[in-house]
Amino acid sequence: MKKKRKELLLQGNEAVVEGALMAGCRFFAGYPITPATEIAENMSVRLPQVEGSFIQMEDEIASLGAVIGASLAGVKSMTATSGPGFSLMQENLGFGIIAEVPCVIVDVMRGGPSTGLPTSPAQADVMQARWGTHGDHPIIAICPSTVRECFDLTVTAFNFAEKFRNPVILLMDEVIAHMREKVVLPEQDEVKVFNRVKPKVPPEWYIPYEDTPMGVPPMADFGDGYRYHVTGLTHDVRGFPTGRPDEIAPFMARLFRKVSQHFQEIHIGEFFMTEDADVNIIAYGCSRPQRPCWCRR
């Protein structure tokens, strides 16, 4: 007899936790902040149940630093924050991008600037997600619009982070984070989970930032005998700082290529009556219609 699946009444933040655990997240470091606090609260309970680790850090700067360190050690890692905390994370976000460290940052947007409106929704962190950290860089951001999408796209965020060796931002808003829906979650064996590609060569042959057809080099875990240098400076294929144009240009081109050449896979969206439209309206998060609506063009 087929087992009946359990129906859960979840809010978006709780669904993010379930998706993260299903994707294999086993480390969370964060600092409480409205309206993302429920993610940290639930992770503090759920992670020890699956032999994971939860740490409340002293601030958001340290939170993302700890997440990057855990990921370098081979653990799928995540943090969660809102706009003010996301601003503090930007320097470490840039480090994660140039060092190619997979991780997931959940930004539950609220009104700003500064402390702003802690308990009210906003969708104003789009430009910060794309251009918040300095320099020219690729980034992947995903925006859920329902509670079930909070679960599904959290899994997707981890898969993209691991597949492309890049930080991925889950860009939510307060309404979706605190909205409750009835959700029937899939079983673990029904969820597609991607794990980072490990090197298949002996440690002495390992080139940590070599180019590949995908643009993504295999990633060894610290502690497994593969020694390599990690730096926020522009570096050569072995991770050591360089100022040579013939090494910098291919490196920067690869950072962009590993995302751009997979755009069709990364690009997620739903389209309605756009085939012959002259003007398109883009909506995401709580402003996205939950069902198509007819309108005059």
Query: Considering the domain boundaries, does residue 265 fall inside one?
Result: no
The verdict on residue 42 lying in a domain is: yes
The pLDDT score that the predictor gives to residue 288 is 82
Residue 294 pLDDT: 45
* pLDDT reported for residue 272: 83
Answer whether residue 270 is part of any domain.
Answer: no
Q: Residue 44 maps to which CATH number?
A: 3.40.50.970
The whole domain housing 140 covers 7-190
Q: What is the 3-state secondary structure (H, E, C) of the chain?
A: CCCCCCEEEEEHHHHHHHHHHHHCCCEEEECCCCCCHHHHHHHHHHHHHCCCEEEECCCHHHHHHHHHHHHHCCCCEEEEECHHHHHHCHHHHHHHHHCCCCEEEEEEEEECCCCCEEEEECCCCHHHHHHCCCCCCCCEEECCCCHHHHHHHHHHHHHHHHHHCCEEEEEEEHHHHHCEEEEECCCHHHCCCCCCCCCCCCHHHCCCCCCCCCCCCCCCCCCCCCCCCCCCCCECCCCCECCCHHHHHHHHHHHHHHHHCCHHHHCCCCCCCCCCCCCCCCCCHHHCCCCCCCCCC
Residue 291's pLDDT is 55
- Position 32 in a domain: yes
Put simply, whether the predicted model's pTM sits higher than 0.85 gets the answer yes
Q: Residue 80: inside a domain, yes or no?
A: yes
User: Structurally, how many domains does the chain consist of?
Assistant: 1
pLDDT tens, residue order, the chain (297 aa)? 566 677 899 999 999 999 999 999 999 999 999 999 999 999 999 999 999 999 999 999 999 999 999 999 999 999 999 999 999 999 999 999 999 999 999 999 999 999 999 999 999 999 999 999 999 999 999 999 999 999 999 999 999 999 999 999 999 999 999 999 999 999 999 999 999 999 999 999 999 999 999 999 999 999 999 989 999 999 999 999 999 999 999 999 999 999 999 999 999 988 888 899 999 888 888 888 765 444 443
What pLDDT does residue 24 have? 98
Residue at 208 is within a domain: no
